[in-house]
Structure 1
Amino acid sequence: MAASLQEERKEQSSVADGEDEEPSNGEDEEDDGDEIEEEEEEEGEERKKPVPKESRTRLQREKMENLFRRISTERVPLRVHDVVIKGNTKTKDWLIEAEVEAIKNATTVQELLQSATIANAHLHRLGIFDSVNITLDSGPPELPGTSNVIVEVVETKSPLTGDIGIFSKPEARSWSLEGSLKVKNLLGFGDLWDGSLSYGWDQTSEVSAGVAFPRFKGWANPLLARLSLLSQDWLKFSSYKERVSGISLGLISSKNHDLAYNLSWRTLTDPSQMASRSVRRQLGHGLLSSIKYTFKIDQRNSHLRPTRGYAFVSTSQVGGLAPDDRCLRFLRQEFDLRYAFPLGFYHTALNFGVSCGVLFPWGRGFLNKPSPLPERFFLGGNSSPVCTLGGPTTLLGFKTRGLGPTEPRRQVSGKFDDESSDTFSGRDYVGGDLALTTFADVSFDLPLRVFQEAGIHGHFFACAGNVTRLTENACRDFSFQKFRKSFRSSAGFGIIVPTKLFRMEVNYCYILKQLEHDRGKTGVQFSFSSPL
């Protein structure tokens, strides 16, 4: 009992103590409130203090990183409110608006960035602006999720440009002087007016003038027109000179498609009076009215030294689109296929290609008619088969028009006394109606680092090809077995030196097979081409 009473007294005292403590708790709460107010005042004072520059930079960097992280992981919706164009004083607004049309259709940040990059490249490609700057700005505050696009251009200060140069063709032993003069954006339509002159001391001369519009109002395709006067001297190879004057119109020109119409008056002459019978039959005047369509796909990583990818070109030409009897009527088709893939060491890559072409006259009795001489296929020359894309032409180791069907020239007494046997070989190369060429090329880096930095590299190659006649009833004697057995071939190696002014190849060619009257030669050969 005594113990229980003591416990009761303890509980009562504890309760009393708890009742006595209540007022002290209220005082503590008031003290806590005062402390919170003091802390808020201190935080307010801290906010009023200027933020250090380093902290501000760090916060902006974090915001940008968060934005890029969000863009890379999810599609951020965004709509373009307006496109503002600045800086164009001469160029029409509709031309720039047409090039940036894809920007207006963007629905996300990712699409907007991609379309802005493409539009920037398209505007630079016009060649009428020194600089193009596309800025993405926020839209009006009352329209969240929108953006304004500001396109600022600087028009070129020198619309008049020109260039001049001297070029050589060692395989043809000829030199040419070439120059051009261009005027950009004369009418404000992005138009390009140009005149060019090419004078060859021994073979080709050309004077031409043209105009190109990248687009015109509602017509989305580029428009091109060109007048030209061309003179070519083929006396060394085929005993005739060619003179062509005419106009060409580019109707469609895009990344993969090209459609052009050509109307020309052509004249073939023989000043030497030594032409073979086949050539003499085609001397005189002719009207060329033709339309040409080209389909092209080029997915190679480089057109000068491709290491991966493929390319395909198909060219179809129809001549004879005029009622005149002198109009040249023919059908011409070419195919060209290229493929490249890396081998995995020393930047080594294998390139191979196949080119073929066929030509036929059309009309009543077309099998008995000859095909137009200048439209036929001629093989030979030292141009690089890797860089040349557009039909069967090149066969390393053989001279220009150095193989194929030939005919004896007319013998004129005393004509050979003062001329070299190389210039007048006694036979005319008359070309063919069916041509096929193929090649394989292995390119590799040279071991020295100085060569690798300069882009100088080596290559091994092998070429084969053939050309034959099909018209004038020659197709009756044609067989694929004979065509295959008469293939010419060559192989070799060389060094390629690319520079800003030209691309030079020094090759050693070994003739594996050639037929009688072919002009192939084993030895060192040089080739120069454009670096573009």
Structure 2
Amino acid sequence: MLNEAKDSPFRVNSCKVNGTKFTKKSLIEKQLNSLFQAKTLKEILEETESICGKLNRLGIFKDLGVNLDVPKSKIVDNENEVDIIINLKEKPRFWARTGTEVGNNEGNLNASLNLRNPFGKGENFEANASYGVDSTTIDRDKEISKLLPIKTQRNSIYKLCYTSPINGNPDRIFETVASQMNMSHSIFSSFNEFSNNLGFKFRKITPFGLNEYGYIASWRQINHIGKNASFSVRSEAGNSFKSSVYHRYIKDTRDDSMLPSRGSLFKFYQELAGLGGDIQFIKHEAESQWNLPLGRGYSLSSSFRGGLLLPLMNSRTRINDRFFIGGPLSVRGFHQYGIGPKDGKDVIGGDTYWATGLSLYAPLPRLANKPIKTHMFINAGSSILLNQKESLSENVNRLIQTPSVSTGFGLAVKFNILRVELNYCLPIAVTKTDDVKKGLQFGVGLSFM
């Protein structure tokens, strides 16, 4: 019956929302404005679905339901009118959470306190504390690694965050973040980094992707220099202040973000530092991935990542702004950040890099519908420090002429919140500074090459 009448002229007589207690009336009204512009039953149903989607994305409601009813009292009798009743419940305003999270080779213990919808317009306050242990199979001390093959570094992050939808639109978000971070890099280099940060972000979600524009003010300190640290690391010790603006774009059409079989991903990031402070650079980074289903559970995946960091005003690049590649999540067959410039045993990062990968995924017998697959892969990448005395072509030649390459096979398993890989890796092209990991390699993370 609804299908027969979907193109018939209809209008909304009234719309009522039940269940709001703390939410401002103006926030709800902004979501409902388009509903009264609908001219057919089909348009009314589409607009109602869109409104419920927006209310749900605000993150302050639950148990949304919609009823359509015939107006009970009308001055003029018109059968082509309908009343909309939206029933919902407000989520608790205050909530706390403790738990563990696993990211890219990192496990975190965290606790957060949240105040939801404090002013009735969809805002959120969050206070978060995180204590992390970053583990890897880097064997910087070969004797110790025989006894302790997995070493760890401890990180801590404290963050205050305020988010607010602009004009009640969940696809237009303003965010303010203040954070303090203490990050240990002792696994691959002889220093720690401490920073105090203040940032402002504006996020806009459209059918064409997500755009984020932001400003970051960051006071950074390179400290806890190791007693055997290289000169390159020692020269970075001390304070710096970065003031920068950035833009991030993401378009993701993959069917699964962690173990995809079809679709594509595009990411672009640009940052300009030098709006005050003593750090001046322009930074570009891009990432892409294409996934092609081959039928019967087989799929082909190709990935590419690349970045460029250019100092401005005769300055130099800093180790905490450079790029680091290599490891089970990027170029397999090498230790974490095991590709690129080094000084002694310290990884010092590159000003430019590229990395690429090609993987063939296949289902396991009797487990074709499970989130576990075998794969064969080939990865390659390179990272260098730019030499200002060399020409552009000379720098490009250094970047592409001696890539680090590996191949191998293994298992990829998707869990609810992460992906796990166990691979056998065979490096087939290396440079003299590479930290090679031949044989079995274990990786845990969210995003793999």
Interval containing the TM-score (normalised by the shorter chain): 0.7 to 0.9
CA shift in 2, pair 1:358/1:169, >3 Å: closer
Distance 2:350 2:390 in 1: 11
1:150 to 82, 85, 103: 85
**SS of residue matched to 1:112:** helix
User: Over the residues paired in the alignment, what is the CA RMSD in angstroms?
Assistant: 2.5
The answer to whether 1:437 aligns with 2:355 is: yes
Q: Relative CO higher for 1 or 2, CA cutoff 8 Å, sep ≥ 6?
A: 2
Q: Which residue of 1 aligns with 2:336?
A: 400
- Aligned partners of 1:470 and 1:478 also within 8 Å: no
2:56 to 124, 134, 138: 124
CA shift in 2, pair 1:220/1:297, >3 Å: closer
Q: Which residue of 2 aligns with 1:207?
A: 158
Q: Which residue of 1 aligns with 2:123?
A: 191
Q: Which residue of 2 aligns with 1:308?
A: 262
| Per-residue CA distance 1:40-67 (angstroms, 9 max, x = gap) | xxxxxxxxxxxxxxxxxxxxxxxx2xx3
Distance 1:514 1:235 in 2: 24
The answer to whether 1:233 aligns with 2:151 is: no
Q: Which residue of 1 aligns with 2:415?
A: 499
**SS of residue matched to 1:342:** strand
Q: CA deviation at 1:455?
A: 2.1
Distance 1:126 1:429 in 2: 43
Letter in 1 for 2:427: I
- Aligned partners of 2:58 and 2:170 also within 8 Å: no
Q: CA deviation at 1:357?
A: 0.9
CA shift in 2, pair 1:310/1:166, >3 Å: closer
| Per-residue CA distance 1:406-427 (angstroms, 9 max, x = gap) | 123xxxxxxxxxxxxxxxxxx2
- Aligned partners of 2:114 and 2:124 also within 8 Å: yes
2:307 to 332, 337, 357: 357
**SS of residue matched to 2:166:** coil
Distance 1:166 1:252 in 2: 25
**SS of residue matched to 2:416:** coil
Q: Structure 2 stretches of 5 or more lacking a match?
A: 134-152
**Larger fraction in helix:** 1
- Aligned partners of 1:163 and 1:181 also within 8 Å: no
Give the number of aligned pairs.
Answer: 422
Q: CA deviation at 1:157?
A: 4.1
Q: CA deviation at 1:315?
A: 0.9
1:163 to 89, 98, 107: 98
Q: CA deviation at 1:251?
A: 2.5
The answer to whether 1:488 aligns with 2:404 is: yes
The answer to whether 1:179 aligns with 2:90 is: no
CA shift in 2, pair 1:219/1:118, >3 Å: closer
Q: Which residue of 2 aligns with 1:134?
A: 66
2:437 to 511, 521, 524: 521
| Per-residue CA distance 1:422-463 (angstroms, 9 max, x = gap) | xxxxx2211111111111122222111xx3344222222221
Letter in 2 for 1:335: A
- Aligned partners of 2:121 and 2:168 also within 8 Å: no
Q: CA deviation at 1:374?
A: 1.0
**SS of residue matched to 1:238:** coil
Distance 1:483 1:271 in 2: 29
Normalised by the length of structure 1, the TM-score is 0.74
Q: Which residue of 1 aligns with 2:285?
A: 334
Give me the identity figure in percent.
26
Q: CA deviation at 1:126?
A: 2.2
Normalised by the length of structure 2, the TM-score is 0.86
Q: Which residue of 2 aligns with 1:97?
A: 29
Distance 1:124 1:299 in 2: 21
CA shift in 2, pair 1:288/1:498, >3 Å: same
Letter in 2 for 1:493: F
CA shift in 2, pair 1:272/1:481, >3 Å: closer
Q: Which residue of 2 aligns with 1:254?
A: 205
Distance 1:150 1:280 in 2: 66
Distance 1:132 1:481 in 2: 59
CA shift in 2, pair 1:186/1:443, >3 Å: same
Q: Which residue of 2 aligns with 1:423?
A: none
Distance 2:47 2:224 in 1: 57
Letter in 2 for 1:332: K
Distance 2:428 2:183 in 1: 31
Q: CA deviation at 1:381?
A: 2.3
| Per-residue CA distance 1:286-330 (angstroms, 9 max, x = gap) | 1111111112211222212222222211111111112x4xx2111
- Aligned partners of 1:469 and 1:475 also within 8 Å: no
Q: Which residue of 1 aligns with 2:146?
A: none
**Larger fraction in strand:** 2
- Aligned partners of 1:294 and 1:314 also within 8 Å: yes
Larger Rg: 1
Q: CA deviation at 1:490?
A: 1.4
Q: Which residue of 1 aligns with 2:149?
A: none
Q: Which residue of 1 aligns with 2:193?
A: 242
Q: Structure 1 stretches of 5 or more lacking a match?
A: 1-63, 384-393, 409-426
* Superposed counterparts of 1:49-68, under 5 Å: 64=1, 67-68=2-3
2:219 to 246, 265, 279: 265
